[in-house]
Amino acid sequence: MTHLPPPHPGLTGGPVHLDYNATTPVDPRVVEAMLPHLTDHFGNPSSTHPYGSEPRHALTAARARVAELIGARPDEIVFTASGSEADLFALRGAALASARTRPHLITQATEHPAILATCRALERLHQARTTVLPVDREGLVDPAALTAALDEDTVLVSVMAANNETGALQPVRELADAAHRAGALFHCDAAQAVGKIPLDVREWGVDLLTVVGHKMYASKGAAALFVRDGVRLEPVVYGGGQERALRAGTENVALAVALGAAARLAADDLADGAHQRIRGLRDELHHRLVDALPGRVRLNGPAERRLPNTLNIGIDGVPGHRVLDGAPRVAASTGSACHSGTHTPSPVLTAMGVDPARALEAVRLSLGRWTTRDEIEVAAAAIAAAATATDTTEPSTAGTR
């Protein structure tokens, strides 16, 4: 039986928060753990005198907690300031540490912009080559397509574990095995997966993996990169030798402690079956919307192979931004971009073959630790009412999923 966490003060009285994939509220227990390292335990963890002792021990404990959550060793965890930095570190580090004149990188079309932009920068600055693999209609990479794209200059393959918009879960083990058969490293941005599903870096066979604190109830600015023992990377920051001499600079102990505390809570949640509770609420939300809007609700992405907290739908005849504008009691997102009032379809959905007009109808609803059944009822009613009030087409005869 799962147990609900203590109430979160920041969510009291506000709209129903269904945008956990964008960021999570910081768990009050995480705040409690990190506060002493902003006040009393101010020392430099590299100092040998008593003021450095507690920060050093706290840093060691935090590293161990993050490692335990993902099945790694503590000395394989390098703390960073963001997931984007960890992604940059993995790609740039592998490319520059290789002996290739023109290192070849492989990623996929629905990858996070931090990966895609880093690949473009490596092409511009370091003569790298990049192959971007297509995805199928569920947003998944075909391992056979990866095998065909690998060549003797491939140094790294980077494919995310779970998509932030659709929740699609990639076949990580199969993709990592394909990369290794060609002698390439495999990096996985697991920002959306860590803490939401059971995850073991050994079972997945990855060499590098990104962990992001603000996706798992820690503070922003707390993240880490798993670097498998034996993997050579060019440092991301040069200097004093901190973090295995891969990321110099005095460690931000408070944020590392926050990430460690969040990792411990996530491990407890997974052991307690909290992800099953969240999956049940997600499916109830989906069913309520299908019942309230018969024939009009489409699921974007896999029906089964996805994160337990993520629901990406399109409602026939209504742009997603208009649905959310008409439902101020719900805090969610569309996944599309808005520039100067002009909305453009999500590149993730269009890469999956979704028609651009249909892609503009998308609404991403992502649940989390504090989501309740009462909130699901409120959100479903608000979204359905907004969609009905702004309907611009006749009801579709398309089936639902």
pLDDT over threshold 70, residue 270: yes
* Per-residue pLDDT at 396: 43
**What average pLDDT does range 309-335 have in this prediction?**
96
Residue 176 lies in a domain: yes
Q: State how many domains the chain has.
A: 2
* Per-residue pLDDT at 393: 57
Residue 167: strand, helix, or coil: coil
Of 270, 287, 311, the position where a domain reaches its end is 270
% pLDDT > 90, the chain:
91
User: Strand order of the sheet with strand 362-366?
Assistant: 297-299, 310-315, 362-366
Residue 133 lies in a domain: yes
Tell me whether residue 119 is one of the annotated catalytic residues. no
**What average pLDDT does range 60-65 have in this prediction?**
98
* Per-residue pLDDT at 38: 94
301 and 313 within one domain? yes
Question: Would you say the C-alpha torsion 190, 195, 198, 202 has a positive or negative sign?
Answer: positive
CB 164 within 8 Å of CB 192: yes
CA angle (129, 134, 138) in 5-degree steps: 150
Q: How far apart are CA 7 and CA 12, in angstroms?
A: 8
Confidence of residue 341 (pLDDT cuts 50, 70, 90): low
| Amino acid type, 289 | L
* Per-residue pLDDT at 187: 98
175 and 57 within one domain? yes
Q: Beta-carbon neighbour count of residue 287 at 10 Å? A: 14
* Per-residue pLDDT at 160: 98
288 and 223 within one domain? no
281 and 231 within one domain? no
Token pair for residue 128? 């790298």
Counts of helices then strands in the chain (DSSP H, E): 14, 14
Domain extent for 59: 28-270
| CATH number of the domain that residue 285 is part of | 3.90.1150.10
The active-site residue, picked from 338, 357, 389, 398, is 338
229 and 83 within one domain? yes
pLDDT over threshold 90, residue 3: no
pLDDT digit string (tens) for 342-387? 689 999 999 999 999 999 999 999 999 999 999 999 999 999 999 9
% pLDDT > 70, the chain:
95
pLDDT over threshold 80, residue 391: no
* Per-residue pLDDT at 100: 92
159 and 147 within one domain? yes
* Per-residue pLDDT at 390: 84
